Structures are given as structure tokens and as C-alpha cells.
Amino acid sequence: MNFLAQTAPTGLTDVLLIPGLCFILGLGLWYGGIHFENRTEKSWLKWLAFVPLIIGVVIGLQMTMQAGDYTYQRLLGSKKLVYGHYLALALPLGALITVICWHFYLKKGQSYDRF
């Protein structure tokens, strides 16, 4: 009996649950940190957003590497699940890039008081 064997995901929820939660949590922490900075002083709260986003990228990267395997693709059964594996990487990675660009935009314009 092999306890390390994994079954193929049956729906998009199986694939996108953890990366999606990391995406929402990361953007929520970033946005909350910016609002907290506007009301008080500089805070480390917005930088805490990188932790779930990096975790989401790592998990999404593993899922994307699995989806690249032809044998694993045959187990999935539908193209929607294969695309869901790629979206599991694109969501947190896109949010990570957005957060970094957003920081440089706000820093360049010193426009923290716009929010």
C-alpha cells in the first residue's frame, strides 16, 4: 500500500483553493497595510502580504509542473482542470508583481495620502 500516492483533482476547487486563498489573503494584507499606514505611521503590516503570496507561488509552481506532465494530464480528463493548474500559478504570481509595482508607484509619487 502506497500512502504517498495522490489522486487526481476532481474539480477546480481542488486545484485553486490554496493558491486562491493565498491570493486573497496577500492582497487583503497589502491593502489593509496601506490603509493602516495612511491613518498612523509606517507599518510592517503591508510587507506581511509577501508571505502568503510567496507560499501561493510555490504551491502554484508545483501544480504547474504537474500539469506539464503528459501522463498527469491524461488523468485530469478535462482541459479546464489543466488550465486551472496554470491559473494556480498565475494568480499569486500576478498579485506578487502587482504588489511590487504598486509599491514603486506609490513610492515614486509619494501618493500614500491618496487612499
pLDDT (tens digit, 9 = 90+) per residue, 51-101?
999 999 999 999 899 888 888 888 887 888 889 999 999 999 999 999 999
pLDDT digits (tens, 9 = 90+) for 3-12: 456 677 788 8
Distances (CA, A) of 79 to 22, 48, 90, 101: 24, 35, 16, 32
- Give how far Cα 10 sits from Cα of 16, 50, 78, 114, Å: 12, 30, 10, 44
Cell of 84: 486551472
**Stronger pLDDT, 110 or 83, i.e. the higher one:** 83
Instruction: Indicate the DSSP class of residue 7.
Output: P
